[in-house]
Amino acid sequence: MVARKELECVIAETDGEGITWVTLNRPEKRNAMSPQLHYDMEEVMMEVEVDPDTKVIVLTGAGNSWSAGMDLRDYFRATDGNPGEQFRSFTANRHWSWDILSNSRKPTIAMVNGYCFGGAFIPLCACDIVVTDQDAIYGLSEINWGILPGGIVSKVIVDVMSHRDALFYAMTGRTFDGAKAVEMKLANIAVPGDKLRDETIALARELMEKNPTVLAYTKQAVRAVEGMDTNLAYEYLRAKSQALQFVDQAGTREHGMTEFLDKKTYRPGFSAVKVTKD
Ligand code: ACO
Ligand code: V55
């Protein structure tokens, strides 16, 4: 992938290590999501997904905001009389912020650097892990606009937040900060703003130590079993485990066992199995 891809509303940059920073880039509009931003993101997310140099995807925002949600002017009001354009932009939104992001084979980290409102909860919940500025401001503000948390916002919040928290924040529109987001388990880690990037890089590096195939299968497995009963999950996980053994050409499983059982050079649980690239 080119080191830096510049579109109208998004910047994608891959560093030398394998972290691709995808930055929503409408800082003057607090990264409110316009139709053009959705079209740009559709392109970028598919490209980083298939880019061999991208090992970890970090989604963040330019300026003091992660994203102020849907652009009330360009996404809603401007498309009110135009069902064709509305379908195009609503579908592009759903495609990148849910379908592509939540099905990514690579680790996805939301690095929430500031405001996160309304429709921004869709990509927030789609990411695997959320690292947040402890002072970032979150809100399900739809109620204050006379709309309900649409798209798939209501769905993703009940799946990630508790039933009580989802109802409370959707009904009141009250805001909460990053520290509270972690307390509610909507986010994983809250840090002061000046530590946000370093904390995210440390996490990304930790993930890059794992075998990428094992990591992809692990996240797919955890996500897939959520909607299954226990017997179905057992059968699925058995088949998925066997599929992993088949596709992991590095033989991470065998390698780990040999190192631990025979060579005694490795203690699993403390660090990832080191396998030279196949
Ligand atoms: N849609 C359209 N424009 C927006 C949005 C938005 N969601 N959020 C901010 N903007 C624009 C403002 O209109 C303003 O534009 P202008 O400079 O052309 O006048 C610019 O971004 C800066 O916004 P300010 O309000 O001046 O910035 P401030 O830093 O004071 O506040 C904040 C930021 C808190 C995010 C505020 O803009 C806000 O409350 N935005 C709306 C957030 C929201 O409720 N989003 C959910 C929308 S509904 C949904 O997503 C389904
Ligand atoms: C929202 C609403 C939408 C959408 C995406 O409430 C997000 C947020 C009504 O459509 O497409």
pLDDT tens for each residue of the chain, 278 residues long = 545 667 999 999 999 999 999 999 999 999 999 999 999 999 999 999 999 999 999 999 999 999 999 999 999 999 999 999 999 999 999 999 999 999 999 999 999 999 999 999 999 999 999 999 999 999 999 999 999 999 999 999 999 999 999 999 999 999 999 999 999 999 999 999 999 999 999 999 999 999 999 999 999 999 999 999 999 999 999 999 999 999 998 888 888 889 889 998 887 666 777 765 44
Taking the CA of residue 94 as reference, the ligand 2 atom at the shortest distance is 11
Does the pTM surpass 0.85? The reply is yes
What residues does ligand 1 touch, defined as CB less than 6 Å away?
A: 29-30, 32, 65, 68-73, 115, 117-119, 141-142, 145
33 alpha carbon, distance to own chain's centre: 16
Report yes or no: 217 and 240 within 8 Å, Cβ to Cβ.
yes
- Nearest CA owner, ligand 2 atom 11: 151
Pocket (CB within 6 angstroms of ligand 2): 70, 90, 93, 118-119, 142, 147, 149-151, 153
Ligand 1 centre to CA of 69 (Å) is: 8
Ligand nearest to the CA of 33: 1
CATH H superfamily, domain 2-208: 2-enoyl-CoA Hydratase; Chain A, domain 1 (3.90.226.10)
In Å, the largest CA–CA distance within the chain is 70
Cα(139)–Cα(127) distance, integer angstroms: 18
Centroid of ligand 1 to alpha carbon of 192 (angstroms): 23
* H-assigned helices in 13-141: 35-50, 83-94, 101-102, 121-126
